Amino acid sequence: MKLLIFGSVGSGKSTLARQLSEKYNIPCFEGDSICHGFEGEERHKRSNEEQQEIIRRINRENENWIVEGVYRESQKSLWDMAEKILFLDTPLSIRYFRIIRRFIRQKLGREACNYKPTFKIFKYMFKWTKDFEANRPMYEEMLEERKEKVIWVKKVEAETLWEQISK
């Protein structure tokens, strides 16, 4: 199964991807890491070509994979490579709550992250969420174009979700 989990900041992409990866032993990759560097690598923004090469390598080296992330033009090929696309359409209030909770946990050292949890990043998470909502019509059109492989999720339940994905 080649699975793309798509959604806004705080929608539950990373948590769901990790759960599915662990339960079904499928390698999982973060779109942010494809863009900015994997754990243990120096963080920098990779070029579009570098990101595309990483995506091709992931696809070539793994029969099954999960990639989670927000939309990036540089990673659009994932939308075509994926056998299934999960759109996590979590309510805005829940996403805001999760952004705040995540930031507090990261600052207290109770939640790991691949970036430095600064107030600037915290502020950007709200901006990115606002941008996501502004671009929602474009995302919904892209999802509609691939509707045969899209699962639109408003409430994430990992147990029953796998049954839908693997159909």
Type and span of the H or E element at 133:
helix 119-134
- Given CATH 3.40.50.300, say whether it is the number of domain 2-165: yes
User: If residue 58 lies in a helix (H) or strand (E), which one and from where to where?
Assistant: helix 48-61
What's the CA gap between 103 and 100, in Å, rounded? Answer: 5
Domain ranges of the chain: 2-165
From first to last of its 167 residues, the chain has per-residue pLDDT tens of 999 999 999 999 999 999 999 999 999 999 999 998 887 777 788 999 999 999 999 999 999 999 999 999 889 999 999 999 999 999 999 999 999 999 999 999 998 887 889 999 999 999 999 999 999 999 999 999 999 999 998 765 544 555 655 65
Which tokens sit at 4?
């793309």
